[in-house]
Amino acid sequence: MTETVAGTDWQAWQESWDRQQEWYMPDREERFRVMLDMVEAITGPAPRVLDLACGTGSITDRLLKRFPDATSTGVDLDPALLAIAEGCFAGDDRVRLVRADLNDPGWIRALPHDSYDAVLTATALHWLRAEPLTALYGQLGGLVREGGVFMNADRMRDGSTPRIDAAERAHRHAAMDRAKAGGALDWSAWWELAAADPVLAAPTAERFAIYGEHAEGDTPSLDWHVRTLRGAGFAEARAVWCSPSDSLVLALK
C-alpha cells in the first residue's frame, strides 16, 4: 500500500475502484490484458500512451507494470477520480495527468504531446452522445501517429438479438446480486464512501455537480464504432476481443 504524507492510502482507493468496476465486469482484467497485448504487438514495449477518460488510472497502472519504459498521459474531468490518480502516481515522472472535458473541442490543447503511439480507453465513452463521440474520434484520427493504435473497451449494444441480450443480462445480474450479497460495492455504495472520506468529500461533491448521478450516452453498436473510426482516418478497425455484453474495438492508423 502507498501512503501519502497526509495519510491517505491512495492505492487502497485505486484497488477499491477496481473491485467496484469488476462487480459490473468480471472479465475486466481480461480486456486489459488483450488491450496491452495489442499495444505491444503494434507499438512495442515503450509506447507513449494517452489514457483517455483515465479515471483513477487503471489502464496506466497496468501499462506501467507491464511496460516500465512506457509513458502515459491521463486525461479526465472527474476531480475525485483524478485525485486518486494523482495520489497513486505522485512522483512518477512517466505519468502526466490533465483535467479536461472531452466534450470541449479544445480539450486536446491541454495535452503535453501532439501525437501518441496509442490512445486507450475503457468503460468511459458510453457517457458521450453519438455526435460528440464522432467529433472526438475525428480528433483522435489526428492525434494517433501513423502506424499507431486506438482502442476502446466498452458496452457496445447490438440490438438485433433481444432474446440473447435478455438471457445474458439476467445471468450477469444474478451473479452481481450474489456478489453484492457477499459484500461487493456497487457504484452508489462506492461513491457514498468517497463522499464520507475527509480528503475526497470536496472533489466528490464537485464531481456530482458536474455529472449528476451518471451521464447517459447513446451506447452505439460495434459496427457504428468501426464505421466512425474508419471515417475519422483510421485505415483498419475491428473488434479484437468481446464478451457477451462488451467489446474491445481496435483502430489502426
Residue 6, pLDDT score: 55
Q: Does 17 have pLDDT greater than 80?
A: yes
**Does residue 5 lie within any of the structural domains?**
no
In a domain, 210, yes or no: yes
Residues in the chain: 253
Of 236 and 213, the structure prediction assigns the larger pLDDT to 236
Share of the chain above pLDDT 90, in %: 92
Among 47-61, 157-171, 213-227, name the most confident range.
47-61
Average pLDDT over residues 26-37: 97
Which 3-state string (H, E, C) describes the chain? CCECCCCCEHHHHHHHHHHHHHHHCCCHHHHHHHHHHHHHHHHCCCCEEEEECCCCCHHHHHHHHHCCCCEEEEEECCHHHHHHHHHHCCCCCCEEEEECCCCCCCHHHHCCCCCEEEEEEECCHHHCCHHHHHHHHHHHHHHEEEEEEEEEEEECCCCCCHHHHHHHHHHHHHHHHHHHHCCCCCHHHHHHHHHHCCCCHHHHHHHHHHHCCCCCCCCCCHHHHHHHHHHCCCCEEEEEEECCCEEEEEEEC
With a CB cutoff of 8 Å and minimum separation 6, the contacts of 191 are 204, 208
Q: How many domains does the chain have?
A: 1
| pLDDT of amino acid 7 | 75
User: How many other CB atoms sit within 10 Å of the CB of residue 6?
Assistant: 9
- In a domain? residue 23: yes
pLDDT confidence band for 24 (50 / 70 / 90)? very high
Q: Give the per-residue pLDDT at 108.
A: 97
Q: What is the pTM of this model?
A: 0.95
Range from 14-18, 77-81, 218-222 carrying the lowest mean pLDDT: 218-222
Mean pLDDT value across residues 4-32: 90
Domain contains 2: no
Q: Which domain holds residue 105?
A: 10-252
Q: Express each pLDDT in 178-202 by its tens digit.
A: 999 999 999 999 999 999 999 999 9
- Does residue 1 lie in a domain region? no
> CA 252 → CA 55, 62, 241, distances in Å?
24, 21, 15
Query: Over 70: is that where the pLDDT of 4 sits?
Result: no
Establish if 102 belongs to a structural domain: yes
Any domain includes 131 = yes
Q: Which CATH number fits the domain that encloses residue 148?
A: 3.40.50.150
**Mean predicted confidence (pLDDT) in 97-111:** 96
pLDDT of residue 213: 81
Q: Which residue has the higher pLDDT, 216 or 5?
A: 216
Mean predicted lDDT score pLDDT of the chain: 95
pLDDT above 70 covers a percentage of the chain that reads 98
Residue 249's pLDDT is what? 98
Q: What is the mean pLDDT of the segment spanning 69-73?
A: 98
Instruction: Name the one residue in this structure whose C-alpha cell is 439476467.
Output: 170
